A and B are shown apart, each in its own frame.
Chain A
Amino acid sequence: MKRLLSLIGLAATGCWLFAASVTGYVTDEQGEPLIGAAVKVANSTVGTITDFDGKFELTDILPGTSVEVSYMGYLPQQTQAADGMRVVLMEDVQRLEDVVVVGYGAAKIKDLTSPIEVVKGEELVAIPTSSPMSALQGKVSGVNIVNSGAPGAGPLVQIRGIGSFSNNTPLFVVDGMFYDNINFLNSADIEDMSIMKDASAAAIYGVRAANGVVIITTKRGKQNQRPDVTYDGYVGVQTVSNLVPMCSSDQYAEMLLEVNKRSYTRMFNNAMKAYGGTYDSEAGVFHLDQNTNWYKELLRPAVITNHSLSINGGGEKATYGVAMSYLYQDGIMKTTNNYNRLNIRGNVEYKPFTWLTIGFNGIFVQSNQIFPNNAAWQQAYNMPGIFPVYDPATADLYTDGYASPLTLQLTSNFYNPVATAKLYDSRNKTNQMMAAVFAQFNILPNKLNIRTSYNYDYTGMGAYTFIPEYYISNNQKNETSTLSKSTTTFNNWIWDNTITYSDQWGKHGFKAMLGLSLREEQYRNLWGVAQDVPAGKDSYMYLSLGNTEGRTVGDDGSRYRGFSYFGRLNYNYDDRYMVMFTLRRDGSSKYNEKWGTFPSVGLAWTLSNEEFLKGVEGVDYLKLRASWGLLGNDKIGASYGTTNSEVTRAVFGTNTALSGYINATNFSWLSWEVVNETNIGLNYAFLGNRLTGDIDWYYRLTQNAVVAPTLPMQEQTIAGNWGEILNMGVDFNINWEHHVGKNWTYFIGGNVSWLHNRVMSLRDGVNMIKGGKTVQKVGEKMNSYYGFKVIGVYQTEEECASDPVAVANGLVPGDFKYEDVNGDKVINEADKQILGSYIPDWTYGINFGFRYKGLDLSVVLSGKAGGKIWNRKRALRYASNTYNFDLDQYNLRWHGEGTSNSNPSAAGLMKSWNIGDSQNASYFVESGDYFRIQNITLGYTFTNVGAGTYKMPSIRMSLSADKPFTSFGAHAMTPEVSDSEGWDTEVYPLTATWSFAVQLKF
């Protein structure tokens, strides 16, 4: 074959030369050698790569033969072979030639008709997080990421708003396998991530695609690649970034005495007696010696470290990749809570024949997570500082010498937060295995191939929670130790079969793909609870060691199957007009209605390739895109269209229980939700490719959204495909990058997303549905808070006397004045209103930095605006009058006419009118806006570091500060609340991480 090609080359050039060796070198525009550039004889598989000096040698080749030179990030070039040739590659600033994974195939960026954001693994690798998605915060427009500081906890990820009342998790496709998250992956294992934002890109995943799709490709070797050995590692310290300042013991005493001196003096006298202090009877002020800062007692700096080693390479017929990594993250809660993970990955591809490629890909993950008891965070907020963590005086009465709230007669709802944190042991051990095999039949090389792949995932989780026997108070005790244990397994498989054909006839480019996919998801859970299991050793954690009597067990499971066929058609005319059609037909065992069809179409017009724009100064690239498609969401409850019978027991006589049943009186007939999305966008590059970016407008309407209004006069809800949700928005990216001379580059860029989220309709005749925490109301944002709006604080007795509402409810100055929405001079349920939602209107990111020779600096800023959080920490005050106050509740309180028109008096903070759990006063709604310095990284890269004859390609060292500073107004530890409805309670504080990272390439 080689000879045949050479002969053709010979004939074409008309020269007569002997086949010989050709050497040359490849550089960039600045003359720097490009290492590892591919040099290939056109239309053949013959080729080589450049060495450290950018040099290459092609043997057995006729000069004048057409060769292709390509290098990642540079525009490929076709030229004629000549000995001593020099090839200068131009940088592909817009990465138009980069290939992105698009689901059952790949496409060049220049051919895309939809907004697909590609994130390279190297952008994630040095950011100290346990989950790769956490590192994307602030980097990608249209993707809302809410991080958590708990060790091993993954972020909440929402792509283009939230379009379902049931489930908003995007689909993660890891090398072909479907996942709900990628918290198990190591950032260093990721080659790239494609985030498919619009319907035309995602529709190929049909009924799974409605919440957006993120396709992750793990690293692998390339053909003819020398072994690339890379070590990535970092070590960092996490510290809490923000605290809520609380009242000191003296301030707390001042507040309570202000409310009722007679009733509360006793408590502080007791505190004084027990822990010291003085009472200034003249001023009526206590000076207490004990002043515990419960938050500080619960916090510590914590370490995070990650080490990854990988080897990728390939020869003529085989490529391989092997990697191993270890992550350890300690929690900042001052007790045992941490996460560690071992990832092992390997893949191999082999071409036994020119027409066949086979391969195996495996990822094995073992992780151990020790959970914190987040209840302690709320307790630290509620507990006044008047008693200590440990009390030697009562050490023999209470477990481990903890101070008991009983000592000060604090009973109901008072806990020693440190004891809560420590007397708790909850762990989860996960073993996950993903294995995939594939075979690809290259029937016509580069034109027609058939691929079949089988992906299997097994995830096994063993979890236990052990609560030892302890006694801290009447309220905080556990009479017998309790062990709850569970085993959960997931067995999922997908079998994909595709046939792909692509061809080019002159200016007509054509590509078609047809596929067939089968999948099954199986979930099993078995659990048991036993009492009186001995404490002290991990090896005791067996139900069998507990009481045989009273042990309880249970289990559950589910099994779903899917059967789909799909196709995609791409047509490209002259790189100017692009069309893409996709269609997926999905069958699902989850529903009575089994089959659904999900079509999409995308159009693109590269204006800059038109005659009228060619040569226009300053305009380098301009592409207009439009797309439409339907997507499904089957992450909602299954429906078999039947009522079910609940097994229950009732007691008849001593120690006798009989089993019976309760027949459900109604049932849901459900189907998947459908997202109908239109997207219009523009990609641009101006001013010599220095200014690049894109802008997209989208209109996503979720139809058949599953809503579950409560049935008349019952707690039971009935779910049906009745709702409509709109997410409309704009994603905008702009970047400026300038290479000033050879060594100096600077860049600045930003992204901003605007989102308009509205509930468009619920069930006929239903205007609002109340859930546990929030409501859904037509015309408002999803998950809105609903309650009385505070419009002021009563200032004077006269004001109270003249207001019938104040008279009827016995209000006094310092109490809230609520808006009387219907003006009937009565405040009741009818006066509640929408008070905001956690969903932000704006998310943005800014990045800038420079590179000077080996030195680089990058800064990422990010923020959100327009969302609200519910300060449940404060709202829980309804449970006890004597809970502590945060410092602003003290500083800003009403204490006389004109002192405050937004904060109640100390007495008001104890009155159900202001703080009652049914009032939901807007006082508890706080701004979720924040601005953050997301990341600052300063690095230096040494290249070709020599050690004798051996030269290391590169060593990079960097220092980074991750999330070092966050500014926000809410009285919270973090404006990022892990609860998807924005309830701020028991939230693990977010951390700032200071780390040092090294990357070594051997």
Chain B
Amino acid sequence: MTTNKFSILNAQCLILIALFAILSGCSFLNVDMENKIAVSEIDYTKTADMYQPVIGAYSKLRWPGMHWVSNILWTGRDDDMTSGRTDDQQDALLFGYRGGYQCPNSFWGLRIAWINSYDVIRTCNSALEALDKYAQHIQPGSQDYADYKSYRGEVITISSWMYYMMASSFGPCVLLKDNNQTRFVRSTQQHVYEYVIAQLDSVIPDMKRMRPNQMPHQGAFTAFSAEAIAARFALLMGDYAKVETYTDDIVTNGGFSLYPDYYDLFKIPGKLCDESLMEVQVTDFGLTTGDYIGIDQWYVSQGASLKGTVGSEQIDIAGWNFCQYNTRFVDWCKARGETTRLEVSCLQTGDKTRDNFTVTSSGIFNGKAMLPYDQMTGGNTEWGRNNNVRLMRYAEVLLMNAEAKVRNGKSGDAPFNEVRTRANMPTVNGVTLEDILDERRIELCSEWGLRYTDLVRTGKAETVLNDPALVRDQANGEWTTAKAWWPVPGDQLTNLPDLALDPE
């Protein structure tokens, strides 16, 4: 028995020793990360995949670039619109006339607007890095190389769009030129404008000169999209010669035209029409439910309650009731004799829509965001589902062109009247700057806070936004030039002391 024991001991010891030897030597602990692809494993020699990082940038622009709360802040700044709701998200009202432009830096939506914009810009930077890695495997002069240059242009157009939203809401902002950047001092608006225009100028010659709906990747941004953004920046700078150059090129060579029906322009038939310079695209793949590449609550947040009858069925369509016009705007439109644009833009309680639905929630809502029931795929009544977001339209280009021309001492009548005619408004001869600004006010209402930017750049903000006729529900202060631009979000200030420094 004794011998037996020891042989067992020996055997066991041997097993243990063998285990140590085998296992410490072998790769027992080398396990790959599951369900992940390491960036280091991307094959940049496969230039057929070169568009993939660009797709990533478009995807980021859709979400989270288009966040509903950013939208209610962006659009709720002028004298015509407010964020709408007085219960939920009351703080958003403080970014408009109703709340006296308090702009509390602790509001969560402010942070979203800041962070999500930089998320898009950062993704663009990393897409450019990836494109450059592909380029190392491409012969200059080849078709692939031309594509590479054009793709870079698309990516820079996306980041420029985001910079426009930053510069026209936060004013001075950080130029994130590189993802490894460690300095985060804000740049002055002038520097932001110059930087973005220079970037765009450097890629416009490489980009495709066609409409987005003619692009092989349908709806991808073109040289004209880039020029339109550049024109917006030039307008902010007051460089009207540049505005004229950019927009003239678009008008003359772009092949764009206004979509004849102002109503359908914003609905499903108007998706990627010939008026479209930039659109954020979504799709439900023609399905009522299931796979949907959409934009979260972008449209739902703007939705009002509609009630209607289809066949024998009563249909209720509901949204969150944000983004509302004030009655003064409706009165102003009526006084001007607006018909089509007023009908399409403003949905007031009790109004009947073209498909005979009644607006039941109280307020005046953004009709551009409304989809008629018969355009909703398979009766899915989510607001705006399957509709693209229009970033830039040819109408805006025409009005920028008209403004530049007038400012440069020329006649802006032709582009101006093109816009008016489509809206069933009488043409005007000898159009003035005032006419153009008013035209922008109605044509582009609820779009990106352009009206607010117009008021600020033309110096009208102080009088218009402090108009005693505007009803304020919280008696807290007036608009001043110091409040023209949003403050840096509070938590960003805490995290990044650089942001407290004066812009340079």
Contacts and interface: CB of A to CB of B under 8 A. Distances in A.
Contacts of A662: 53, 56-57, 59-60, 123, 126-127
A830 interface: yes
Interface in A508-543: 516, 518, 529-532
A708 to B, nearest CB: 13
Nearest to B64: A715
A912 B83 CA distance: 14
B198 interface: no
Contacts of B289: 479-480, 531-532, 547, 550
A44 interface: no
Interface in A61-88: none
Contact of B30 (A497, A532, A589, A657): A589
A828 B126 contact: no
Nearest to B220: A652
B174 A651 contact: no
Interface string A653-670: 111111111111110000
Contacts of A709: 495
A644 B42 CA distance: 10
B39 A643 contact: yes
Contact of A559 (B31, B317, B494): B31
Contacts of A594: 29
Interface stretch (A224-232, A721-729, A913-921): A913-921
A411 B305 contact: yes
Interface residues of A, number: 98
B427 interface: no
Interface in B425-483: 474-477
B87 A881 contact: yes
B318 interface: yes
Contacts of B89: 878
Nearest to A769: B495
Contact of B104 (A413, A643, A656, A828): A828
Contact of A663 (B1, B39, B290): B39
B372 to A, nearest CB: 17
A355 interface: yes
Given A531-B289, A549-B287, A559-B31, A881 B496 contact: no
B412 to A, nearest CB: 34
B107 interface: yes
B48 interface: no
Contacts of A443: 5-6, 8-9
Interface stretch (B114-122, B239-247, B258-266): B114-122
Interface string A889-929: 00000000000000000000011100011110000000000
B332 interface: no
Interface string B27-60: 0111111111111101000000001111111111
B293 A713 contact: no
A715 B115 contact: yes
Interface string A709-720: 110111110000
B271 interface: yes
A808 interface: yes
Contacts of A829: 105-106, 490-491, 493-494
Contact of A649 (B31, B55, B321, B494): B55
Contact of A660 (B55, B491, B492): B55
Nearest to A644: B36
Contacts of B4: 355
A281 interface: no
A917 B217 contact: no
Contacts of A550: 285, 287-292
A727 B5 CA distance: 49
Contacts of A663: 39, 42, 53, 56, 126-127, 129-130
B472 to A, nearest CB: 9
Contacts of A664: 39, 126
Contacts of B28: 518, 561, 563, 589
Interface in B74-105: 85-91, 93-94, 100, 102, 104-105
Contacts, number: 273
B153 interface: no
A642 B39 contact: yes
B45 to A, nearest CB: 16
A665 B122 contact: yes
A810 B104 CA distance: 14
Interface residues of B, number: 109
Contacts of A518: 23, 28
B491 A558 contact: no
Given A660-B51, A661-B53, A912 B106 contact: no
B391 interface: no
B281 interface: yes
Contact of A658 (B51, B93, B292): B51
Given A479-B380, A594-B29, A656-B218, A810 B475 contact: yes
B86 A881 contact: yes
Contact of B88 (A499, A651, A655, A879): A879
Contacts of A424: none
Interface stretch (B12-20, B337-345, B347-355, B399-407): B12-20
Interface in B228-283: 271-272, 281-283
Interface in A220-247: none
A560 B32 CA distance: 9
B62 A650 contact: yes
B329 interface: no
A59 interface: no
Nearest to A555: B35
B495 A712 contact: yes
Contacts of B179: 665-666
A43 interface: no
Given A557-B34, A879-B88, A645 B39 contact: yes
A248 interface: no
A497 B20 CA distance: 11
Interface string A849-863: 000000000000000
Nearest to A665: B179
A880 interface: yes
A497 B64 CA distance: 52
A412 B87 contact: yes
A551 interface: yes
A808 B39 contact: no
Contacts of B115: 713-715
Contact of A661 (B56, B220, B380, B476): B56
B324 interface: no
B159 interface: no
Given A552-B290, A714-B115, A714-B118, A650 B88 contact: no
A802 interface: no
A943 interface: no
A458 interface: no
B55 A658 contact: yes
A871 interface: no
B140 interface: no
B208 to A, nearest CB: 14
B90 A713 contact: no
Contacts of A919: 106
A556 interface: yes
Given A518-B23, A658-B51, A450 B218 contact: no
A475 interface: yes
A912 B29 contact: no
A559 B36 CA distance: 12
A355 B491 contact: no
Given A557-B34, A650-B62, 5 more contacts: A647-B37, A662-B56, A662-B123, A808-B102, A912-B94
26 contacts: A355-B1, A355-B4, A411-B318, A441-B8, A497-B19, A532-B289, A547-B288, A588-B29, A649-B59, A651-B293, A655-B283, A655-B285, A660-B53, A660-B58, A660-B59, A661-B42, A663-B42, A712-B184, A713-B184, A809-B474, A829-B494, A878-B87, A878-B90, A881-B86, A881-B87, A912-B94
5 A-B pairs with the lowest CB-CB distances in the bound complex, closest first: A550-B290, A660-B55, A829-B490, A653-B218, A474-B318
